[in-house]
Amino acid sequence: MFAPPVAEHASPSAPPAGMFDNMPGYEGTVAGGGGFLPPPMPAQPVPQPSPGPEQPHWNIPSITEDNARDAFSLYASSKCCYSSAPAKDGVIINMESFNTYRYRLETFTESRSTEWSHEPYNGQPVDAYVQHPPGPWDIPAKVPTFFVDSEQKMKVPYTSSMKPCHDCLGSGRKPCKDCAGCGNKVCWVCNGSGFRHGGDRCHHCNGRGRENCAHCHGQGSKQCTTCHGKQQLLVFILLTVKCQSPDLFPIVSVCPVMGFPDPTVVQAAQRLVGDHQGKFLRTSRILQQRQTIELIPVTKVTYTWKGKTYVYFVYGNEFKVHTNDYPATCCCSVM
């Protein structure tokens, strides 16, 4: 007779209590995940880079009056109701740059976590107690492709032990749920009577009133899906190594921007570098960082036409124009 059915996906059991309680680096490891492990602190602080003899060449474009006038003329000609006179005859009296920068910081980090896991025992090495396992950050992992998320799972050496399967209690089989472990069920043709309408014996069950369970082939039990019938499990600490760009506001530890002509960008970079130290270094190790600065040029053009002052903006590398008060328009309709 089999024990009552148990949950199909019971949590994996860990080795005997106290087996690895005092193992450095693995305290608190539990079934289902022990949380992210802090990386080892460097022996000495990482030195900050000092400006070298060669500074980056920052090329920030600016537009001339001719560029601004040509862009305005092209804009006016694209509007069917706009006269070209203000664009051609207007006098530019001032040009003011409002360059906008989009500063993006990215980091590619490695984080590590441990949990107790298991697999069917098929003669794998049982190496627990042979020697102390290496620390979670001392286990070599594959070199990832930078800025491409990846995940590796590996057994921690010298943590593998063997114990009876927690799901089938070491029997290798579990009661069939379809027939409740009986191996047979009431015949669906004769409903258990053994006879059909008219008094004929049921040919489906040969008059027994019951039929063998098709799910367990009449055995009343099925192979345990946890240990695959091996009765024993290999229990070990599983290390998960995740390399990713965190899905957070991109604050990373990168070399500060040096020599950039706009001091506000330099200050923002320095501030974000400082903020990063408290966000990622406690739970992950930085593998690589990158930063980009995108320029969106914007120029405010002030001009006069017929004694009045107007404004338009030229923006982007394509010299697009925006204005809300073009002074010479007419109403027309397209037939």
Contact 116, 16 (CB under 8 A): no
Convert the chain into a string of H (helix), E (strand) and C (coil). CCCCCCCCCCCCCCCCCCCCCCCCCCCCCCECCCCEECCCCCCCCCCCCCCCCCCCCCCCCCCCHHHHHHHHHHHHHCCCCECCHHHHHCEEEEEEECCEEEEEEEEEEEEEEEEEEEEECCCCCCCCCCCCCCCCCCCCCCCCCCCCCEEEEEECCCCCEEEECCCCCCCCEEECCCCCCCCEEECCCCCCCCECCCCCECCCCCCCCEEECCCCCCCCEEECCCCCCCCEEEEEEEEEEEEECCCCCCCCCCCCCCCCCCHHHHHHHHHHHHHHHCCCCCCCEEEEEEEEEEEECEEEEEEEECCEEEEEEEECCCCEEECCCCCCECCCCCC
Contact 234, 211 (CB under 8 A): no
Question: Distance (Å, rounded) from C-alpha 76 to C-alpha 67?
Answer: 14
* pLDDT grade for 261, boundaries at 50, 70 and 90: confident
Output the average pLDDT for the chain.
81
- For position 288, what pLDDT does the model report? 80
Rounded mean pLDDT of 297-301? 92
- For position 57, what pLDDT does the model report? 60
Rounded mean pLDDT of 231-258? 71
Residue ranges per structural domain of the chain: 65-99+297-322
Q: Is the pLDDT of residue 2 over 80?
A: no
- For position 9, what pLDDT does the model report? 44
User: Which residue in 114, 145, 106, 105 sits closest to 38, CA to CA?
Assistant: 114
- For position 96, what pLDDT does the model report? 92
Distance of CA 294 to the CA centre of its chain: 25
pLDDT over 90 for what percent of the chain? 49
Contacts of 286 (CB under 8 A, 6+ apart): 107, 108, 109, 252, 253, 280
Contact 280, 109 (CB under 8 A): yes
Question: Distance (Å, rounded) from C-alpha 306 to C-alpha 304?
Answer: 7
- For position 30, what pLDDT does the model report? 73
Contact 283, 79 (CB under 8 A): no
Question: Distance (Å, rounded) from C-alpha 290 to C-alpha 253?
Answer: 9
- For position 32, what pLDDT does the model report? 66
Question: Distance (Å, rounded) from C-alpha 214 to C-alpha 238?
Answer: 38
Condensed to tens digits (0 to 9), the pLDDT of residues 177-209 reads 999 999 999 999 999 899 987 788 998 898 899
Q: Name the least confident of 39-48, 93-102, 123-132, 205-214.
A: 39-48
Amino acid identity of residue 177, one-letter, is K
Question: Distance (Å, rounded) from C-alpha 38 to C-alpha 285?
Answer: 8
Question: Distance (Å, rounded) from C-alpha 313 to C-alpha 63?
Answer: 12
- For position 68, what pLDDT does the model report? 95
- For position 252, what pLDDT does the model report? 31
- For position 154, what pLDDT does the model report? 96
- For position 13, what pLDDT does the model report? 55
* pLDDT grade for 72, boundaries at 50, 70 and 90: very high
* pLDDT grade for 258, boundaries at 50, 70 and 90: low
